[in-house]
Structure 1
Amino acid sequence: MSIVGSAIPAQRERPGASQWLSWLIVVALVYLLLAAVGAIGDGFKAATASNAKELFAFATNPLIGLVIGVVATALIQSSSTVTSIIVGMVAGGLPVSIAIPLIMGANIGTSLTSTIVSLGHVRSGEEFRRAFSAATVHDAFNIVAVAIILPLEMMFGVLEKSSALLAGFFVSDASVDMKSMNFMKMIISPAADLLNASVSWLPNKVWSGVALILIGVALILFVVTAIGKVLRKVMVGKARDIMHASVGRGPISGMGSGAIITVLVQSSSTTTALIVPLAGTGVFSLKQVYPFTLGTNVGTCITALLAATAISGPTAVLAMQIALVHLLFNLVGILLIYGLPFLRGLPPGIAIGLADLAQKSKLYVAAYILGVFFVLPLLLIGASQLF
């Protein structure tokens, strides 16, 4: 009995120790993320010699910027990674006006994951129809949001102006000028010095800058993937509890739970992948899933906001501005599309129509995925060259 009795407390201690280790790993990964974003910013400054605008002149057409955001995120399958890279690019001199369509494209590209997850139900007709409609309602909302907001942004610059105003509250002139007192810079400085030293052997600043950009992008890809795995291990059980407790209690509760779970697992792709199978099996209806997916759009903005805190100096305000653009875009999309009754039913209507087609023939599924995420973007690039 004494052996058994002594074994039980040891077994109980292990989960606690494991959780503490997981959270320490998360802290270390966040630190790496901040260092990586800073490295991209420093790299762009060195590589472009403050001529980033000329380097990205091809993306001054908003449609091309949008397409780059869609395809990059669809390939990487992480809007958090793409938006963090964009924050670093803006810190390195990329104009905010060029970065805005990139951010919008990232929102569309990330919804490919849930569509792929729905294919797990392909053998059961009705189940697949429910899963596919739950997945594509996310796509439909993001596409409709871009179709409405991007033209308005091109005409009036509402997101750019409002984010600039808000960024001033988060990053004051004092914090930009008084670099020696920049707390975040002091924390990241050892990692930044190490990364800069690792490329110092290269022959000139341009090559050093390119190397820093590549290192920063590789680190962000690693960190976002790793942090997602660690947080899923620790938080997915809690995420499911939140989901079951709140999704069916109305749209506000659904949006809130979508945002909270996405912050907890640091991946909107993971969050939507959790709910699509539940929709397929009939646990949640499309009406309940719809506001939940809108919440995931808001929750995923936390990564870009966190990444922006890594930037110091004169571009700190611009880095925070583009991160706030991401948040404002999603909030404005919800207010316009879900808030206005005559637009609210548009994304679910599109999703139901697509699901009906997909149930009739799986060729429609292949055509939809290839068309929306790859063929249509290429056609947009071609069309943009005509104007």
Structure 2
Amino acid sequence: MVNQLNRASRLQRVTSYLLMLVALAFFIFAIDLLTVSMGNLNNSVANSILLATKNPFVGLFIGILMTALIQSSSTVTSTVVAVVAAGNLELQQAVPLVLGANIGTTITSTLVSLSYLMKKKQFRRALSAGILHDFFNIFTVLILLPLELTFGFLTKLSSSAAQLFSDETYSGSFVYSKLFTRPLTEWLAGIIDIPFVTLIISIFMIFGAIKLLTTSVYRAFIVETFQDISKVIFRQPYLSLFYGIFFTAAVQSSTVTTSLVVPLVANKRVPLASSFPFIIGANIGTTVTAAIAAIYKTEAAIALALVHFFINIFGALIFMPFPIIRNIPVQLAARLGKKSSNTRLIGFAYILLTFFIIPFILIYFSK
């Protein structure tokens, strides 16, 4: 009986590994198809789609709204990388989109906290944990966006760093490297023969590939491992940071790993302050997806992947070294969680305003 269970477990693990490889190949294929379709789009169509991103604040809120709607910053950032690689979006226009995606991705952990709505004390702690992820990314954007708009801080830094990995020089348009999937993507794009339809299909494929990849890796590595070492993960801040990076890089989704933290905080297994370094690490780990999407080896695509990485690295450098600064988002999240547990409407209003109503209104009136 024991041998049969072990065989079943090994078979399930091998199946998860194979599924993970298939999902990775599917993800690369979807990204390649998106790049080809963007390259085939009529310039006027492409310009009309991306016109709003010329306003950095609109780009920021488009990133928030898109990510909140599909609940995957990995999908948004990898899509933006592909669009930049195709030469239809300039690097400096793409930076606010990635900053917005960083905020939008936090909605999932906040929504997870709503499952504790009927249990007042647990809801307070759960919502505080979800909001803590929001506050970290919002504060990081509030610091980095003005630096980017004033000095081109992230654009210049990432462009300089990208030159270490690419021989290309930025000129506004790029010749992307042909991947092993290119014959198949060009064949499929030719069969459909409508670039805009191919574009929509490729975006859905990217989303599906990331979900498939996340599920396969989660089953193969995360479930048992996370449960086994959850007692030691949160003991030391920098060890917790490392685990956040590791687990999130494995599943390529910060929403998965940060959502695992919410029940732990809600059930008092992990203090709110101890969960913060793990959340910071999760933000760094999720940048792996953009790095895979930058496999085109164009300087712009690599630079944008580095932008995503630098955003979260600088966020970690701002909050991790100084406990006093690190405690600011924790205290604010705890206070808002307390108020929301007393008046449940506050929690719903916060989610709707932050992730949907305010971004939609600002995008609408920007026209």
Q: 2:313 aligned with 1:331, yes or no? A: yes
Q: Which of the numbers 258, 270, 277 marks the counterpart of 1:291?
A: 277
Q: Retained in 1: the 8 A contact 2:36–2:185?
A: no
What is aligned with 1:4?
Answer: none
Deviation of the 1:21 alpha carbon: 1.9
Q: Which of the numbers 158, 161, 171 marks the counterpart of 1:163?
A: 158
More divergent stretch after superposition (361-370 vs 235-244): 235-244
Q: How big is each residue's C-alpha offset from its partner over 1:55-105, in whole Å with a ceiling of 9 and x where there is no partner?
A: 523221111001111011111011111111111111122111111111011
User: What are the ranges of 5 or more consecutive residues in structure 2 without an aligned counterpart?
Assistant: 170-174
Q: Retained in 1: the 8 A contact 2:33–2:186?
A: no
In 2, the alpha carbon distance for the partners of 1:22 and 1:369 equals 35
Matches within 5 A, 1:223-242: 223-235=209-221, 236-242=223-229
Deviation of the 1:54 alpha carbon: 6.4
Q: Retained in 2: the 8 A contact 1:127–1:280?
A: yes
Return closer, same or farther for 1:383/1:142 CA change in 2, 3 Å cut-off.
farther
What is aligned with 2:172?
Answer: none
Q: 2:108 aligned with 1:121, yes or no? A: no
Q: Which of the numbers 292, 312, 333 marks the counterpart of 1:351?
A: 333
Return closer, same or farther for 1:337/1:8 CA change in 2, 3 Å cut-off.
closer
Q: Which of the numbers 175, 181, 184 marks the counterpart of 1:191?
A: 184
Return closer, same or farther for 1:253/1:324 CA change in 2, 3 Å cut-off.
same
Give aligned-pair identity as a percent: 34
Q: How big is each residue's C-alpha offset from its partner over 1:229-252, in whole Å with a ceiling of 9 and x where there is no partner?
A: 22222222113334332222x211
Q: How big is each residue's C-alpha offset from its partner over 1:142-178, in whole Å with a ceiling of 9 and x where there is no partner?
A: 111111110111001111111111112223349xxxx
Q: 2:62 aligned with 1:68, yes or no? A: yes
Q: Retained in 2: the 8 A contact 1:258–1:296?
A: yes
What is aligned with 1:130?
Answer: 125
DSSP-derived class of the 1:298 partner:
helix
What is aligned with 2:300?
Answer: 318
In 1, the alpha carbon distance for the partners of 2:16 and 2:327 equals 42
Q: Retained in 2: the 8 A contact 1:254–1:291?
A: yes
Root-mean-square deviation (CA), in Å?
2.3
DSSP-derived class of the 2:260 partner:
helix
Q: Retained in 2: the 8 A contact 1:242–1:261?
A: no
Q: Retained in 2: the 8 A contact 1:81–1:220?
A: yes
Q: Which of the numbers 209, 217, 232 marks the counterpart of 1:245?
A: 232
Matches within 5 A, 1:31-180: 31-49=25-43, 52=46, 55-92=49-86, 93-173=88-168
Counterpart residue type for residue 78 of structure 2: S
Q: 2:11 aligned with 1:17, yes or no? A: yes
Counterpart residue type for residue 198 of structure 1: I
In 2, the alpha carbon distance for the partners of 1:54 and 1:160 equals 23
Deviation of the 1:342 alpha carbon: 5.4
Q: Retained in 2: the 8 A contact 1:254–1:295?
A: yes
More divergent stretch after superposition (187-196 vs 346-355): 187-196
Deviation of the 1:254 alpha carbon: 1.1
Return closer, same or farther for 1:33/1:299 CA change in 2, 3 Å cut-off.
same
In 2, the alpha carbon distance for the partners of 1:160 and 1:106 equals 17
Q: Retained in 1: the 8 A contact 2:248–2:282?
A: yes
Q: How big is each residue's C-alpha offset from its partner over 1:279-334, in whole Å with a ceiling of 9 and x where there is no partner?
A: 0110100110111111110011101101111x25xxx2111111110010010112
Counterpart residue type for residue 378 of structure 1: F
In 2, the alpha carbon distance for the partners of 1:253 and 1:46 equals 47
Counterpart residue type for residue 230 of structure 2: M
Q: Retained in 2: the 8 A contact 1:239–1:264?
A: no
Return closer, same or farther for 1:194/1:35 CA change in 2, 3 Å cut-off.
same
Larger Rg over CA atoms? 1
More divergent stretch after superposition (235-244 vs 76-85): 235-244
Return closer, same or farther for 1:273/1:55 CA change in 2, 3 Å cut-off.
closer
Matches within 5 A, 1:203-282: 207=194, 209-235=195-221, 236-248=223-235, 250-282=236-268
Deviation of the 1:111 alpha carbon: 0.7
In 2, the alpha carbon distance for the partners of 1:320 and 1:198 equals 30
